[in-house]
Amino acid sequence: MNLELFTIHEGASLREALARLEQNHQGLILTTGGSGSVTGLATDGDIRRKLLDGASLDDPISGFVNRNFVWADSSSPRELLLKQLDNVIQAIPVLDKNGILVGMVSRDNFPRQIELPTYARARSPVRISFGGGGSDLTHYFAQEGGAVINTTISLYSHATLRRRLDSQVLIRSSDLGTTLQAENLEQAIAQQGSFGLIQALLKAVHPDFGFELYLNSDFPINSGLGGSAVVSAAVLGCFNQFRQDKWGLHELAELAFQAERLYLGVAGGWQDQYATVFGGFNFMEFRMDQNIVHPLRIPHDVLLELEASLVLCDTGTQHDSGDIHKDQREQMQQVDIRQKVQSNVELTYRLRNHLLRGRLLQFGQALHEAWEFKRQFSSKISNQLLDKIYEEARAHGAVGGKLLGAGGGGFFLFYVTPFRKLELTSKLESAGLNVRPFRFEQEGLRAWSTRELNNHLGVETS
């Protein structure tokens, strides 16, 4: 649009103004002063009325303009512009901070909605597992079917990602307490340090842009809550926001598995990735041809009572799940260990049925059976300290329970009857253990995008 057709010096005549009006076809003309700033507006109707009242075509336009006219600037809301054009206004001049005409808005020339910079956020929940652990290892279910039962809870890993205009990579993790900086993706993947999991994810995703990634979690590292899969899901969820062809839930879980198991080389099963991505109560079956996630429709009252009957306890000790899984794989060469894992799988079906029927006391008792099976899979799963914690918990109200994750440390989960819960939590806390409140989380990975201008006062620099 030629903006010169909309302006005329305020000393010009009505004749010249009419000629300019004829050229712009918008039915209005703007007058400008010596500095070029707009001083007034006149419509063709205004000029015609003045001529009918006796004005001469040689009179200056400045005597007939409206000094109090409607105009817009670059920050004017689109909603307001739409409403003005939908009323009686045909065209709206756009002025800069000096009053210079920089654009015209009309029904046929409405400002295009441009894409603004965005950033992505994601959060993914941890899981607590009730039974079937060990049967989700590929080397086990390659021969016999595996099954686990788990749910996600209200502890999360959080990730924030934004694209850069250059190829640089910046990753900050409050969990690790350190930062990775590199000139490009290749250098970021090649760097030595503590970002092995994130580097494995970058290898799997291979983004074609520079970025900044910020990470933090609500739980400690090596907690037995499936934390590495949870961090992976949050990171993948952020990158997925910048894709046109978005990954589905199975693909996200498989990418997380690919990064941790194949690229990073950490031994482990499949349930963590599916649990955090899908979320909620799930019964999962594992076979070589496919993994199946069955959401469980547990009555609401049963869920509330189960939530109130579980106690999550941080032992304050860390574990190496990969090392435990390696040992467990060796132990599974023994026929009797594989039989125990199979018995644990059968117990998982019973756990599922107890939940669906609301038989929570039997569910708690079955948790005890699950722990008795699990601790026999490897000598690294439990130790004297963990055995003592479990025995003390059983002596103070716990019907059953189990160590979460691969074992060796992290979190204990206990089922306790309602009138002994206070006794149990008091005993655990008096022993210096940290009881963590939680709620069941029915949703899995959540990811979303936000315009940077909506949440930033200005451009943030690293």
Encode pLDDT of 273-292 as tens digits.
Answer: 999 999 999 999 999 999 99
Which segments within 325-457 are labelled E, that is strand? Answer: 398-403, 411-416, 434-435, 440-441, 446-451
Q: How confident is the model at residue 435 (pLDDT cuts 50, 70, 90)?
A: very high
Q: What is the mean pLDDT of residues 406-418?
A: 86
pLDDT on residue 462: 44
Identify the helix (H) or strand (E) that includes residue 173. Answer: strand 169-173
Separation between Cα atoms, residue 93 and residue 106, nearest integer Å: 9
How high is the pLDDT of residue 461?
45
Among residues 451, 374, 365, the alpha carbon closest in space to that of 400 is found at 365
- In this predicted structure, the answer to whether residue 302 has a pLDDT above a threshold of 80 is yes
**pLDDT recorded at residue 262:** 94
Domains parsed from the chain with CATH numbers: 3-106 (3.10.580.10), 119-441 (3.30.230.120)
SS3 139: helix
pTM of full prediction above 0.75: yes
Nearest to 160 by CA among 211, 113, 121: 121
What is d(CA 160, CA 216) in angstroms, rounded to the nearest whole number?
A: 9
pLDDT digits (tens, 9 = 90+) for 3-24: 999 999 999 999 999 999 889 8
Catalytic option among 46, 272, 314, 327? 272
Mean pLDDT within 303-322:
84
Q: How far is CA 167 from CA 162, 164, 359, 450, in A?
A: 12, 7, 56, 22
Quote the pLDDT of residue 407. Answer: 63
Portion of the chain with pLDDT greater than 70, in percent: 94
For 178-187, the pLDDT digits (tens) are 999 999 999 9
> Cα(294)–Cα(355) distance, rounded to whole angstroms?
14
Query: Among this protein's residues, is 272 annotated catalytic?
Result: yes
